Structure formats: C-alpha cells, structure tokens
Chain A
Amino acid sequence: MSLLEVRNLDAGYGRIQVLWDVSIAVEPNQIVALVGANGAGKTTLLRALTGMIRIRSGSITFQDHEIAGSSIESIVELGIAHVPEGRRLFMGLTVRENLLLGGWRKNNRDLTRVIELFPALGERLNQTASTMSGGEQQMCAIGRGLMSMPNLLLIDELSLGLAPKTVDEIVARLPEIAASGTAVLLVEQDIDTALSISERAYVVETGRVTKSGISAELLADPTIQESYLGLASG
C-alpha cells in the first residue's frame, strides 16, 4: 500500500478544470518529483492534495484514509505538511514563532530536528522572518512544515527566486528528511535538480501526467532532454 495514492483526479478553480485524470503514488521514505513547465498544474495538484481547492472526481488515499473532500485542517492532522508556493511565512513573526506555529496541531515545541537539519535557522531563531534571505526563508518554511512531524512533506517550487548554490544546499537535505520517515513530494521547475535528487518522477503537461518512472531513467530520456533541458537529441 502506498503512502499516498491519487487515482484519476480531476480538479480546478471554479469552472476551469486544470487537472485531468491525474494518478500518482508516493511510497514511504521516498522522494518523488513533479516536474513540468510553468502552468502545467503542478501547484494545483499539491493544492488539491491538502484540500485547498475542491476536487471534482477521483480519489486521494493517504495512509488508508480517503482524504478527497476533507478540510485542510483534517488532512494536515493526518500527517501531510504543505510548504506552499511563495513560502507564505508569517512575516511579522520570528523564526521561532513560525516554527512553533508549524507544530501547532501536535503541540510540538521541540526545534532540535529542524535546527540539526538547517543549522542556519538555529542562529536566527529570534529574527523576524521578513528580514531573512530567500534561502533562509525557504529553510524556515520547510522547517515549519516538518514541525508537525508529517509522514509526507509537499514542497512547492523549492528553488523559486533562489540562487543555484542556495538551492543545492537545501536540496541536499531532502534525502535526510526522507530517510527519517518523511516522504517528500517535490514540485520543481528546475527539472535537472528535481530528477537528480528524486527516486521517481512524474512529468505534468497541461494538466495531465504524460510520463512517469525512475528519475534517473527520465533524466536520460532523449525527449525530456530535448523539451526541458534544452539539449539537442542524438
């Protein structure tokens, strides 16, 4: 039984349907990437998973619970954390306060796991979130997600607005997160980074999953190299 299994999902905003017949699965302790161009529907899929948008049809099973149609709060309580697009930290609050809010539901006040993962945050616990660099903010957003001790962490556009070196630094922590019992579903436009770090991946194009498989194999796939990596085939 997969940790997360999405079957034949249709979803969208109001009358506009964005996702068509999407099926994906995430196994425990795995890093799975969702890749594809801007506007393909990757963010929409994550939003559908945590109940932020309404689902039209299909099913979402998480740890044997059917969660399609549940409220955001109850989905989060089951053990999914969502690092949303644009990070959406509570800007006027300190790093510590942001992290503690992440542990709100479980009343988790133990910051050690997050600080071990991102030592830079440990030095900035009393700093206001809005005054930090983009990379530190992303660390704080991921740390905030981990504070709920989730079994699945959704990360939307990890690299958005960050320098490549910072992205590498943060991405390098993902295997550790996965190994410690929190599977990661990563949405990423930078397909090279996403396929290098993940075990499996799904390629999303105009709201449909058009390819899926082992990341290393997808990375070697000539059609993917051509359409996403700008490399000439053959």
Chain B
Amino acid sequence: MSRFLQAAAYGVVQGGLLGLVAVGFSLVWGVMNVVNFSHGALAVAGAYVAWILNVRFGLDPFLAIPVVAVALFAFGYVVQRGLINLVINAPIFLTLLLTFGLNLVILNGLQLLFKADDRTIDTSYASQSFAIGAVNVPYGRLAACFLALGITVALALLMSRTRLGHAIGATGMDRGAARLMGIRARHIYAVTFGIAAALAGVAGTMIATVGSFNPTTTPGQLTLDAFVISVLGGLGNMYGALVGGLVLGIAESLGGLLLTGTWVNAIAMAVLIITLIIRPSGLIGKALYGGRVEV
C-alpha cells in the first residue's frame, strides 16, 4: 500500500510538470494548427540555458527561470516570424516536416555545443524531502509542480481575461476576421510560439532540476509526452493540458510499479487510445479556437 501511495504521489508531482511541458505545445496546435515536433528540443534548450547559468554563475534554477523564459521567447518569436510563418497556410504535413527539421537542427546544435552527456542542475535541496506518513515528497519536485500549476493557471487567465489573450484566441478562431480587426496575425502567431517556447524552456529547467536531461533522448520523449497530453486533455485547452499531464503522470507512475520501465510509453499510448474512444474531443474538450475558419 505504501508503495502504491508513494507512486501516486510521485505521479502527481511529475504530472504537474508534464502538464507544463504540454501546455505550450497544445496552445500552438490549437491556435495555429501546427504540430510542433521541436517542442521537446525547445524544452531541452531551456534546460541548457539554466544549466549554464548554474554552472558558470551559481544561479539557482528557480531564479534562472525569468532569463530562460525571455531567451526562449525571443528564440521562439524569431523562429515563427522568420520560418514557420512562411508555410503557415500550407497543409499540416508541411509544417510538421518543417518543425521536425527544426527539431533535428536544435538537437544537433545542442549536441555539438554540450556533448551528449546526461546533465543535471545540482541544488542543495534536490535530494531533501519531507514525509507524509509513509510517503516521501521531495522539496524540489513539489516546488516544480506548484510552479507548473501556477504558470498554467496564469496562461489560462492570460487567454481568457486579457486583450492579448483574446487576440490570440480570435486569430486562432478566424484569422481572416481577426485581421479585419487590424490584429497582425503574423505577429500574434510569433507571440504565441514565443510563449510556447518560453513555457517549454521553463519546464525543461524544472526537469533538469528534479532529474536529468540530454540532447539525444530527452527532446523526443518530451515531445511525445506533450503530444499525448494535448490530445488527451483537449487541443488548445490550458486546463486540459494540466489534467492530461496529471493523468499521464499518475498512469505512468503506477504502471511503472507493475511493469518494467520500457513499458511506460505503451501505457501513455494506451491511456490516449482509451480516452479517445470514450471522449474524442479530449478529457476537458477542445478550446473554442479548436475549429477554425481560414480567410
């Protein structure tokens, strides 16, 4: 029983983090109809930014988050504005191919710069934990989970309450009508991708703090997780990503108790397939801008 509770607790804190990995991916998919295969690579790029700041300047990863977010936002904005916007009207297969290529470029660039070694950001508190009954909760993971929840809620509020959020949603719903309001769709798309990249970078930083990462296997794993969670929760839906993340985190963690490690991906896919059979629009449902009208 205590093993079960421990796994469930781990699943919850891991799930919150996975939700943060997925939320930007889901936003980009929902608003622009772009399945961003480079999302995991962006997360790992963010992890390297935080890692360098920690190794060179001894900066705590939680304090490095603003720097990571700004750097990744700028990178994401430029990538969307200068690259993905060029093929934004093309069929989804083309944008898929483009982001797949972008993924390879980022991965190989990172590998060239930092080698393929596993890295982790060392903190004094990463190994410390407190106990609730028989369940151990590591401070680092709990803090990362709360941060992920906070950021996801903040993003959901940005989308539902602010002028910028409404402009992003409107552009996602009906780009032609949004442009008739004078909303610069290309700029809004770039801001959207920038936000997604920044969130990916922050998630990558947290993953690097509570675990380890490398430029070869981590990006693919994160992109796959983000894909599963986005579809699971409902495309473009911020809270959907959070719920999807928690479901996946708990399912993987409990599944890991019963099955060997390599089965984890199979569990993720099984959860996805079962959900889609029961609720095709995802657990929470698609965002309003999930069904779009083009010019």
Which residues, 58 to 111 on A, are CB-close (under 8 Å) to B?
72-73, 76-77, 81-82, 84, 88-93, 97, 100-102, 104-106
Q: Is the CB of B179 within 8 A of A73?
A: yes
In the bound complex, residues from chain A placing their C-beta under 8 Å from that of B180 are 50, 52, 72, 76, 81-82, 84
The stretch of B69-77, B133-141, B148-156, B166-174 that contacts the partner chain? B166-174
Rounded to whole angstroms, the CA-CA distance of A97 and B179 in the bound complex is 16
Which residues, 166 to 212 on B, are CB-close (under 8 Å) to A?
166-167, 169-170, 173-174, 176-185
Rounded to whole angstroms, the CA-CA distance of A100 and B166 in the bound complex is 9
Which residues, 253 to 295 on B, are CB-close (under 8 Å) to A?
288-289, 293, 295
Rounded to whole angstroms, the CA-CA distance of A89 and B293 in the bound complex is 11
Interface of A is mostly: loop
Interface of B is mostly: helix
Per-residue CB contact flags for chain A residues 20-63 toward chain B (1 = under 8 Å, else 0) read: 00000000000000000000000000000010100000000000
A148 CB-CB contact with B under 8 Å: yes
A92 — nearest CB in chain B belongs to which residue? B288
A71 — nearest CB in chain B belongs to which residue? B179
Rounded to whole angstroms, the CA-CA distance of A196 and B180 in the bound complex is 28
Rounded to whole angstroms, the CA-CA distance of A138 and B132 in the bound complex is 59
A200 CB-CB contact with B under 8 Å: no
Which residues, 101 to 143 on A, are CB-close (under 8 Å) to B?
101-102, 104-106
Cross-chain contact of B166 among A50, A84, A93 (Cβ < 8 A) = A93
A208 CB-CB contact with B under 8 Å: no
In the bound complex, residues from chain A placing their C-beta under 8 Å from that of B167 are 101, 104
Rounded to whole angstroms, the CA-CA distance of A1 and B176 in the bound complex is 30
Q: Is the CB of A104 within 8 A of B173?
A: no
A130 — nearest CB in chain B belongs to which residue? B288
Q: Is the CB of B177 within 8 A of A84?
A: yes
A53 — nearest CB in chain B belongs to which residue? B295
Rounded to whole angstroms, the CA-CA distance of A91 and B181 in the bound complex is 15
In the bound complex, residues from chain B placing their C-beta under 8 Å from that of A148 are 181-182
In the bound complex, residues from chain A placing their C-beta under 8 Å from that of B185 are 73
Q: Is the CB of B176 within 8 A of A101?
A: no
Rounded to whole angstroms, the CA-CA distance of A73 and B166 in the bound complex is 17
Q: With A52-B295, A101-B167 known to touch, is A92 a contact of B181 (CB < 8 Å)? A: no
B173 — nearest CB in chain A belongs to which residue? A90
A97 — nearest CB in chain B belongs to which residue? B166
In the bound complex, residues from chain B placing their C-beta under 8 Å from that of A84 are 176-177, 180
Interchain nearest-CB distance for A132 vs B (Å) = 16
B163 CB-CB contact with A under 8 Å: yes
Q: With A97-B166, A101-B170 known to touch, is A90 a contact of B182 (CB < 8 Å)? A: no
Q: Is the CB of A104 within 8 A of B176?
A: no
In the bound complex, residues from chain B placing their C-beta under 8 Å from that of A102 are 181
Which residues, 183 to 209 on A, are CB-close (under 8 Å) to B?
none
Interface residue ranges, B against A (CB under 8 Å): 163, 166-167, 169-170, 173-174, 176-185, 288-289, 293, 295
14 contacts between A and B (CB under 8 A): A52-B176, A52-B295, A72-B176, A73-B183, A76-B182, A81-B180, A90-B177, A92-B289, A93-B170, A101-B167, A101-B178, A101-B181, A105-B181, A144-B181
